[in-house]
Amino acid sequence: MDSTNKRKKLITSEIVKYALGQSFVKLNPMVMIKNPVMFVVELGTFIVLLLTLFPSSFGAEANFGFNLTVFIVLLFTVLFANLAEAIAEGRGKAQANALKQTKTDVTANKVQSGGGVKSVPATELRKGDIVIVAQGEMIPGDGEVIAGIATVDESAITGESAPVMKEAGGDFCSVTGGTRVVSDQIKVRITSDPGESFLDRMISLVEGAKRQKTPNEIALNILLITLTVIFLIVVVTLAPIAKYVGVNLEIPVLISLLVCLIPTTIGGLLSAIGIAGMDRVTQFNVLAMSGKAVEAAGDINTMILDKTGTITFGNRMASDIMPVGQANVADVASWAAISSIQDETPEGRSVMEWVRKNGYTFDESKARDAEFIEFKAETRMSGMDLKNGWKVRKGAIDAVKQWVTTQGGTIPADLTDKGNHIASEGGTPLAVAVNDQMLGLIYLKDTVKPGMRERFEQLRKMGIKTIMCTGDNPLTAATIAREAGVDDFIAESKPEDKIAVIRREQAEGKLVAMTGDGTNDAPALAQADVGLAMNSGTIAAKEAANMVDLDSDPSKIIEVVSIGKQLLMTRGALTTFSIANDVAKYFAIIPAMFMLAIPEMHVLNVMGLGSPMSAILSALIFNAVIIPLLIPLAMKGVAYKPMSASKLLSRNLVLYGLGGVIAPFIGIKIIDLVVHLWI
């Protein structure tokens, strides 16, 4: 699935069909009351309909043609507003339906308590159950790999055709229900109950109808309601004032004035803007747990990034071997291979690959029946105790140095310098020793992902500071930071250090984003205002974050920030445009209502509109048609370019403020030329 192609189709025929039907369904007053501005318009539409059908019953003048026209225009105003929201919802539902198609009836090979395996429907699985998934089988639910290694096709979820490696332990053990095992076999512990899986949550969240309003949107709604009440009071008091000066204003005219003056444009588009913002994030294969997270992304000041798996590929691979003292490369390579024969970590496998690729040989018989010493956080070493009594170790330099010393050996003079050289180049040195002899160093290199420097430069232009957190030593951290182009870094950081830097930035009034994929990133992801977890990461990281990147691309945070800023800009721009519209409509309707009785009011008829009736209808028609014309902008969003806030404000005030004043003058005049001929 090509996400670029997905984004090209803004509105499809299926979405339009759905939206047209929903436009009428949403006329239900119980639905409309959730949008107070448009509910007032619907109420006015109903009153004008009664006055059109039963004018004598309400003591109104029998101006059937005018009243009917006002009713039709008001009805379309409400329908167009409903259409905007329904189109936005339709896009979300279309995505949800596509995801639902990936949910097929899956059978799971559940491991029984007695040790056997039983075939059961995936719907019967519960959190904590263990299943075995072989090549070609579908993973029955969200879980963590607890044994084995396999490649998994996640294209149904992420859209990425290339299968990804999943293995027990580390930060790449998380698997998603609905994905398929391409090769090998894995044992998976289920981490969610039916209906609570990642895919289930994704389906419910992309359906726009279930979206909760954000704090910013609620605040704007309150402002719109306040403006509506103010203009309602103004219009109600205008009738007796007009009567005092000899002008009899009919109820349809007053309702037309009210509808034109209240912020109907932004009132009709507000929900669509919010739903479309969530939808745009999903279009980039990012699952936002709430609209609040998307909005917060638009105001981010600082970004904290975990190095391993985020800025770098994460798997440190053997790229060279350096002998120390009197040893040679062949000796170091041979013993490094023997120490790694049973080491199933990515580092261990990469050592074996490097040795074979570079043509070095080793005696496998030495490792036969040997005892494998697993890596432990306490010892920071792994290795083999051979049958002949020899011992070989590889691990952190200081740990292996201490081990060699306890064996009665001495440390070569060039060990420290060569270790510092590897660290200064951004690598990780692993020492290799046999019995009491230090042989050399394995150069493990973690490569910075392509394009990261350019991406961080974009963030800098947005005014966002980037801080890299890593457990590496300061020399290695400085090299990676320089290569990646981040603004600052924290070396030898622990989970509590990441939380501390986030809290420090937040204490200064800044909004902080954090990206990560490991269990140790989970506390920081939860503390951050915007936590973006990688889909390839652990369950703990995804549960703690408020966004999940299905493509596991940490640089995706730039798109998320852009979409957040775009959402806020779109809402602000269309609010500015809507209020500016009201200024122009004032010059259309107010003079039209009074200039017959008060000729001096003609000076305010700056548009030169044909007659009072045509002026009112022209303003009302413009007020209705501007909503569907702005739907594509609300869906697509205002174009965002990295620049300072002051420049953005100036640009939008000119474009949408001044444009919002000028557009109605032109539009209403053109409509009036047609309406005046008809009247």
Q: Which residues are catalytic?
A: 306
Query: Is 381 a known ligand-binding residue?
Result: yes
Query: Is 382 a known ligand-binding residue?
Result: yes
Measured CA to CA in angstroms, residue 544 lies from 141, 254, 530, 657 at distances of 19, 53, 11, 41
Residue with tokens 């006002």: 70
Look up residue 95 and give its two tokens: 């995505």
User: Shortest CA distance to 423 belongs to which of 479, 467, 369?
Assistant: 479
Amino acid type, 648? L
Query: Please, what is the angle between helix 251-261 and helix 215-244, to 10°?
Result: 150
Query: Is 376 a known ligand-binding residue?
Result: yes
User: Shortest CA distance to 664 belongs to which of 574, 576, 578, 594?
Assistant: 578
Query: Is 368 a known ligand-binding residue?
Result: no
3-state DSSP assignment of residue 259? helix
Q: What whole-number distance in Å separates Cα of residue 673 and Cα of residue 679?
A: 10
Measured CA to CA in angstroms, residue 444 lies from 357, 418, 437, 448, 493 at distances of 16, 13, 21, 13, 20
Query: Is 517 a known ligand-binding residue?
Result: yes
User: Shortest CA distance to 431 belongs to which of 346, 334, 323?
Assistant: 323
- Sheet (strand 465-469) strand order: 286-288, 547-549, 530-534, 512-516, 302-306, 465-469, 488-490
DSSP 118: E
Write the burial class of residue 240 (CB in 10 Å: 0-12 exposed, 13-18 middle, 19+ buried): exposed
Instruction: Count other Cβ atoms within 10 Å, centred on residue 652.
Output: 18
Query: Is 377 a known ligand-binding residue?
Result: yes
CB distance 409 to 393 below 8 Å: no
CB distance 631 to 83 below 8 Å: yes
Q: What whole-number distance in Å separates Cα of residue 499 and Cα of residue 476?
A: 22
Query: Is 347 a known ligand-binding residue?
Result: yes
- List all residues 6 or more positions away from 228 whose beta carbon is below 8 Å from its beta carbon: 36, 37, 40, 262, 263, 267
Look up residue 254 and give its two tokens: 């007053």
The rounded Cα 90 to chain-centroid distance in angstroms is: 19
Query: Is 380 a known ligand-binding residue?
Result: yes
* 3-class SS string, 50-81: HHHHCCHHHCCCCCHHHHHHHHHHHHHHHHHH
Q: What whole-number distance in Å separates Cα of residue 475 and Cα of residue 415?
A: 16
Query: Is 394 a known ligand-binding residue?
Result: yes
CB distance 239 to 249 below 8 Å: yes
Half-sphere exposure of residue 612: CA atoms within 13 angstroms, side-chain side: 19
DSSP 654: I
Write the burial class of residue 623 (CB in 10 Å: 0-12 exposed, 13-18 middle, 19+ buried): buried
Amino acid type, 528? A
Residue with tokens 């167009």: 80
DSSP 511: -
Q: What whole-number distance in Å separates Cα of residue 180 and Cα of residue 106?
A: 11
At 160, give phi and psi (nearest 5°): -90, 125
Q: What whole-number distance in Å separates Cα of residue 598 and Cα of residue 590?
A: 11
The rounded Cα 242 to chain-centroid distance in angstroms is: 53
Sign of torsion over alpha carbons 337, 339, 342, 345: negative
Query: Is 446 a known ligand-binding residue?
Result: no
Residue numbers belonging to the annotated binding site for ATP: 343, 347, 375-382, 394
Residue numbers belonging to the annotated binding site: 343, 347, 375-382, 394, 517, 521
Residue numbers belonging to the annotated binding site for Mg(2+): 517, 521
